[in-house]
Amino acid sequence: MPLGVPKVPHQYFEGEDAIWVDLYNKLYEERFLFLAKPLDDEIGNQLVSMMIYLTLDDINRDQFLFIHCTGGSVIPGIALYDTMQYIPPEIHTTVIGIAASMGSLILTGGRPGKRIAFPSATVMLHQPASTYADGMSRVCIQNDNDVAIIKEQIVDIYIETTKQKDKFIIWNELDRDRFMSAEQTLEYGIVDIIMDKEMVPPWLKMKWGPRKQNNWSKITRDEVSEFIDRNDAAPHVNGQMA
């Protein structure tokens, strides 16, 4: 007999009685997000919308994305990566099993200094596929030139976010499956930290618990303007932030 999704007590605001909620709803409320299956349009849209909602709920609170992903579609992956770069909260990424293909791209898209690999984690680099599936339909990238354009986007992302700055090397590495251990991933620059038993995980350092009031009211025009001004002042290269 299936057990279903466990329920846990959760208190939204101080002074309120705790209620029983699904475990995943509790985790989402506390900014824990999960990419635990191949990335497709549905999963990508869910994560993007959740990140935006949590940003509106509290613009200053970090979000934590745990990754155990064997790959997936290129377009939803790039959409999720871009969302992670342009929302104000810092995104901590952690690979807890494998981050392959699009999973590795999402992993490296976390805030620099806050990208973590568990000791037994595996990361795999891989070139973008020429097709991606959405339910029963199949959308085809029209020709090799389209694939090359998307591949160049991915190469540029790895150049920007890792220690590997040779475009030719990354381009060639994406032509085959490149598996890396946690130590190799750290050396490559996809992650910044390898978790160990002596380390206090960053999500345990945050202050959790019921809030004093609804955080929707805490987003001020000054905070939004400050974020916009900060992005406008940042150096740009080829129309993208440097």
Dihedral-angle region of residue 5 (phi above 0 means left; psi in -120 to 50 means alpha; beta otherwise)? beta
| CA nearest to 86, candidates 123, 51, 114, 50 | 51
Please, where are the H alpha helices in 162-236? 167-173, 182-188, 202-205, 221-233
| CA nearest to 96, candidates 157, 32, 168, 50 | 32
Enumerate the active-site residues.
101, 126
Distance of CA 107 to the CA centre of its chain: 6
Determine how β-strand 240-241 pairs with β-strand 236-237: antiparallel
Q: Is 210 helix (H, G, I), strand (E, B) or coil?
A: coil
